[in-house]
């Protein structure tokens, strides 16, 4: 294929809510450029973008897909991304390597919840944005309403470049305000006919054109002076000003589209060619150490790996952007994260599931390479001695936590390796081992995201996995002081076992005064691995217990704290005062005092008004106005404390505190209540007391589990 220099390469990521038409637009852009002889349809599973068996089966994008199109001596690298917010693990890395974002709005629905979520996630990258109002041929299309919603949500930077002469099934004419031309399309779309703007539209078009000229001029002092002198700017000057505004994010140009009927995609590609910045025109990339990396072929080779896949017959495929220099086959680069050296094999240009071999790739271009050994998503490869590392992406915390195990216990190791590979592909997947429950916990962005993981395990790795609800990490504590003693005595001939421990326990809190009536010889303040503290005071006087046995008493106390007497949950925030006891010169030993300490602590704990504590999450729910009632009713049924409700455009944001026990699979329930339009985030807040009736039920359930069958 033709080799392009760095100035003629544009990197574009297609973004938008589910159903906004990203995949159809990508297909149309390839067709319009002559790279396809016929356009595939999403419904038929025949598009370049949605090429995996999973996507064809489900009828929507589940991963980002790289491809390219060529338009008027420019190469446009396209990355089509999923419209489902649960697949942000695919979207965010694509935004990181793009130089322009094309945000599609559905002309029927305008700014949807999914649109807002995409916007929030991409905002930290500060990328130039072009907006395209798509599906203007739909009977329910409303350009003006969609535009108004965009301005309400994204501000005055939203700038009209085009507007439709008609909408709905009769849509076929567009007024272009940059070129002051009307484009007229045939029913089958394609190349339009250019006509003068009708007289009835001239006043409106000239008014909007002046606004566009002023928007272009305000981003460059030289252009502003030229505008004051002439009262006008030519197309090249306006393009220069619009590019500056896009890079400063003070201008978000808005275009009209019907991707499915191939209307106006060519004009959008022309704007990307002429106005959208190339990688070499973008500001230098910020490095992890605070330095900067300009995109230039003069630099040494640096690659950013933004996507990794594992395919059965090919192995690992790494997708990258050349951040600096020029890349050729056979070069050896160092992985900044692992320190290992990787040899670059055959280079490819990705085209969905296809790959076209190339001899070299220059700064700013996107490519793929096979079988890098120790390199995963987010890693940086650099020339030896360059010491360059790009920052890793901070992904949102998982919304759905599930236990996962192999249906066949013999395949646990195989499952573990498969999950690690999937996490390497998609860093938004979290994996951890829960020490309390001895479960493997997988975190995903929701039920659909988990379904993608489950499908890949079954179809790629031939593994059947079982998913379940994680055990709620309850904690136990006490509400009043209590005292107990325990004598451990065992005689079996020869040396026996003897220990007697007197202790009292108290609820611990920061800054509490020293105990009265005793003399503190030593204090140990222990941060427990499960949270909270144990404060252990040695108040023995008169040598009734030798000091060498105190660690054994502490060990017994901690052993019982790991499995509290109420439900077997870890105990926390307790002060233990050991103040008396007895020992035997021959029969006392470490194990005797460990047992005595454990049993004395257990007896005291049960007398100290024990309280079960539960984790409480701080939850934020985003939901459209019209669906607020159902969501609020559902939250109130989950023992929630509603902190407030705030409006954000046409969306309401509910902030609440909800017990973690009430949030199992909440993302699934919310999706059902809101037809997929609601979403939520949560984070741990604190532990709080469980209501008395719930505590009794949980204690009773624990007792029944301990009774032998």
Which of these, 196, 197, 234, lies nearest to 213 by C-alpha position?
234
How many residues are there in the chain?
Answer: 709
Partners of 645 in beta bridges: 654
Q: Among residues 566, 602, 604, which one has the least CA distance to residue 476?
A: 566
| Domain edge (last residue) among 436, 468, 500 | 468
Percent of the chain beyond pLDDT 70? 99
Q: What pLDDT sits at residue 469?
A: 93
Task: Kindly state whether residues 461 and 517 are assigned to the same domain.
Answer: no
Q: Which domain holds residue 512?
A: 476-608
Report pLDDT for 295: 94
Task: Give the lowest-confidence range in 218-232, 435-449, 511-525.
Answer: 218-232
pLDDT of residue 706: 61
CA distances to 125, 292, 340 from 285, rounded to whole Å, are 11, 5, 23
Identify which of 607, 614, 686, 623 has the alpha carbon closest to the alpha carbon of residue 655. 623
pLDDT per position as a tens digit, 268-311: 999 999 999 999 999 999 999 889 999 999 999 999 999 999 88
**Is residue 462, in this structure, part of any structural domain at all?**
yes
Say whether both 524 and 646 belong to one domain.
Answer: no
Backbone φ/ψ region at 423: left (φ over 0), alpha (ψ -120 to 50), beta = alpha
Over the chain, what is the mean pLDDT? 92
Gap between the Cα atoms of 372 and 335, Å rounded: 10
Is 288 part of a structural domain of the chain? no
State the CATH number of the domain containing residue 462: 3.30.70.870
Among 587, 608, 629, where does a domain finish?
608
The answer to whether residue 78 sits within a structural domain is yes
Confidence bin at 709 (pLDDT 50/70/90):
very low
Taking the C-alpha atoms of residue 315 and residue 146, their distance in angstroms, rounded to an integer, is: 44
Question: Of the candidates 624, 628, 626, 625, which has an alpha carbon nearest to the alpha carbon of residue 642?
Answer: 628
Q: Is residue 699 part of a domain?
A: no
| CATH number of the domain enclosing 646 | 3.30.70.240
* Domain final residue pick, 556, 577, 608: 608
For the stretch 640-674, pLDDT in tens is 999 999 987 678 999 999 999 999 989 889 988 98
Domain CATH number, residue 520: 3.30.230.10
CATH at residue 189: 3.40.50.300
Q: What angle do CA 192, 194, 195 make, to 5 degrees?
A: 135
Whose CA is closest to 450, among 468, 433, 434? 468
Q: What is the mean pLDDT of residues 431-440?
A: 91
221 by DSSP, 3-state: which? helix
Looking at residue 248, its pLDDT comes to 95
Q: What is the mean pLDDT of residues 406-434?
A: 94
Q: What is the pLDDT of residues 44-54, one digit of tens each?
A: 778 998 888 88
Q: What is the DSSP string of 348-361?
A: EEEETTEEEEESEE
In a domain, 229, yes or no: no
Going by C-alpha positions, the residue among 350, 312, 343, 313 that lies closest to residue 329 is: 343
DSSP-assigned letters across all residues of 15-58: EESTTS-HHHHHHHHHHHTTS-SS---GGGT--SSS-SHHHHHH
- DSSP one-letter string for 351-400: ETTEEEEESEEETT-EEEEE--SS--TT-EEEETT----PPPP-PPPPSE
Whether the pLDDT of residue 677 is over 50: the answer is yes
Reduced to 3 states (helix: H, G, I; strand: E, B; else coil), residue 138 is: coil
| Same domain, yes or no: 496 and 556 | yes
Instruction: Provide the sign of the torsion angle of the four alpha carbons 663, 666, 669, 675, taken in this order.
Output: positive
- From residue 405, alpha-carbon distances to 172, 321, 397 in Å are 55, 36, 22
Rounded Cα distance between 9 and 4, Å, is 7
Q: Both 631 and 658 in a single domain?
A: yes
For residues 547 and 590, state if they share a domain.
yes
Residue 217 included in any domain = no
Q: Where does the pLDDT of residue 58 fall: very low under 50, low under 70, confident under 90, or very high at 90 and above?
A: confident
Q: Do residues 317 and 343 share a domain?
A: yes
Is 350:64 a contact under the CB 8 Å cutoff?
Answer: no
Mean pLDDT over residues 565-593, rounded?
94
- Residue 681's nearest CA partner among 426, 430, 397 is 397
Tens digits of residue pLDDT in 241-251: 999 999 999 99
- Same domain assignment for residues 306 and 439: no
pLDDT in tens, 256-276: 999 999 999 999 999 999 999
Which strand (E) or helix (H) includes residue 656?
strand 651-659
Q: Is residue 211 part of a domain?
A: no
Has residue 708 got a pLDDT over 50? no
Residue 206 has pLDDT above 90, yes or no: yes
| Structural domain contains residue 567 | yes
Domain match, 366 and 460 both: no
pLDDT of the residue at 116:
85
pTM score of the predicted model: 0.84
- Which of the 8 DSSP states describes residue 104? E
Provide the CATH number for the domain around residue 309.
Answer: 2.40.30.10
CA distance linking residue 510 with residue 72, whole number of Å: 70
Q: Which is it for strands 315-324 and 360-362: parallel, antiparallel or unpaired?
A: unpaired
Please check whether residues 567 and 666 belong to one and the same domain: no
Count of structural domains, the chain: 5
Residues whose CB is less than 8 angstroms from the CB of residue 599 and which lie 6 or more positions away in sequence, other chains included: 486, 488, 556
Q: Using CA of residue 293, residue 299, residue 300, residue 305, what is the dihedral sign?
A: positive
């Amino acid at each position: 294929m033709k080799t392009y220099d760095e100035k003629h390469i544009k990197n574009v990521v297609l973004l938008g809510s589910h159903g906004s038409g990203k995949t159809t637009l990508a297909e149309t852009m390839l067709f319009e450029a002559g790279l396809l002889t016929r356009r595939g349809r999403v419904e038929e599973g025949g598009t370049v973008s949605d090429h995996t068996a999973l996507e064809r089966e489900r009828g929507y994008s589940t991963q980002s897909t790289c491809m390219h199109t060529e338009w008027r001596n420019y190469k446009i690298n396209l990355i089509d991304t999923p419209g489902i917010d649960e697949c942000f693990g695919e979207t965010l890395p694509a935004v990181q390597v793009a130089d322009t974002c094309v945000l599609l709005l559905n002309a029927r629905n305008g700014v949807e919840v999914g649109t807002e979520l995409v916007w929030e996630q991409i905002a930290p990258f500060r990328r130039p944005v072009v907006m395209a109002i798509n599906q203007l041929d739909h009977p329910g299309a409303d350009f003006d309403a969609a535009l108004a919603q965009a301005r309400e949500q994204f501000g005055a930077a939203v700038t009209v470049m085009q507007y439709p002469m008609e909408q709905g099934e009769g849509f076929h004419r567009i007024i272009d305000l940059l070129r002051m031309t009307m484009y007229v399309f045939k029913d089958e779309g394609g190349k339009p006919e250019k006509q003068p703007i009708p007289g009835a539209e001239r006043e409106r078009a000239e008014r909007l054109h002046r606004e566009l000229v002023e928007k272009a001029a305000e981003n460059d002092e030289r252009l502003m002076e030229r505008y004051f002198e002439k009262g006008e700017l030519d197309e090249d000057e306006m393009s220069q000003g619009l590019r500056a505004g896009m890079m400063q994010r003070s201008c978000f140009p808005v275009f009209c589209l019907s991707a499915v009927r191939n209307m106006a995609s060519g004009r959008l590609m022309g704007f990307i060619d002429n106005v959208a910045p190339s990688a070499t025109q973008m500001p230098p990339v910020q490095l992890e150490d605070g330095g900067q990396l300009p995109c230039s072929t003069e630099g040494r080779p640096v690659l950013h790996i933004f996507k990794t896949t594992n395919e059965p017959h090919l192995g690992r495929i790494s997708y990258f952007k050349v951040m600096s220099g020029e890349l050729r086959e056979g070069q050896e680069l160092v992985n900044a994260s692992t320190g290992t050296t990787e040899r670059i094999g055959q280079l490819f240009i990705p085209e969905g599931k296809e790959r076209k071999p190339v001899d070299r790739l220059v700064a700013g271009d996107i490519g793929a390479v096979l079988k890098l050994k120790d390199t995963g998503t987010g890693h940086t490869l650099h020339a030896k001695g360059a010491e360059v590392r790009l920052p890793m992406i901070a992904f949102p915390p998982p919304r759905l936590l599930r236990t996962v195990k192999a249906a066949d216990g013999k395949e646990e190791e195989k499952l573990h390796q498969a999950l690690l590979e999937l996490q390497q592909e998609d860093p938004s997947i979290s994996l951890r081992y829960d020490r309390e429950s001895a479960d493997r916990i997988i975190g995903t962005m929701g039920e659909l995201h988990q379904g993608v993981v489950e499908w890949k395990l079954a179809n790629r790795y031939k593994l059947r996995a079982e998913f379940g609800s994680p055990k709620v990490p309850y904690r136990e504590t006490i509400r009043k002081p209590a005292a107990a003693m325990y004598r451990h005595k065992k005689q079996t001939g020869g040396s026996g076992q003897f220990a007697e421990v007197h202790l009292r326990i108290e609820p611990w809190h920061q800054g509490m005064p020293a105990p009265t009536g005793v003399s503190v010889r030593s204090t140990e303040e222990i941060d427990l691995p499960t949270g909270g503290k144990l404060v252990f005071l040695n108040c023995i006087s008169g040598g009734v217990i030798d000091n060498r046995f105190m660690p054994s008493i502490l060990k017994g106390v901690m052993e019982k704290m790991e499995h509290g007497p109420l439900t077997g949950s870890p105990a926390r925030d307790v002060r233990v005062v050991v103040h008396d006891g007895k020992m035997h010169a021959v029969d006392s030993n470490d194990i005797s005092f460990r047992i005595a300490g454990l049993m004395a602590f257990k007896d005291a704990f049960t007398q100290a008004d024990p309280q079960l504590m539960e984790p409480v999450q701080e939850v934020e729910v985003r939901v459209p106005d019209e669906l607020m009632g159902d969501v609020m009713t559902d939250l109130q049924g989950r023992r929630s404390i509603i902190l407030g409700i705030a409006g954000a455009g046409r969306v309401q944001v509910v902030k609440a505190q909800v017990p973690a026990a009430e949030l199992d699979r909440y993302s699934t329930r919310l999706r059902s209540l809101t037809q997929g339009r609601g979403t939520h985030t949560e984070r741990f807040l604190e532990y709080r007391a469980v209501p008395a009736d719930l505590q009794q039920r949980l204690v009773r359930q624990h007792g029944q589990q301990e009774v032998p069958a």
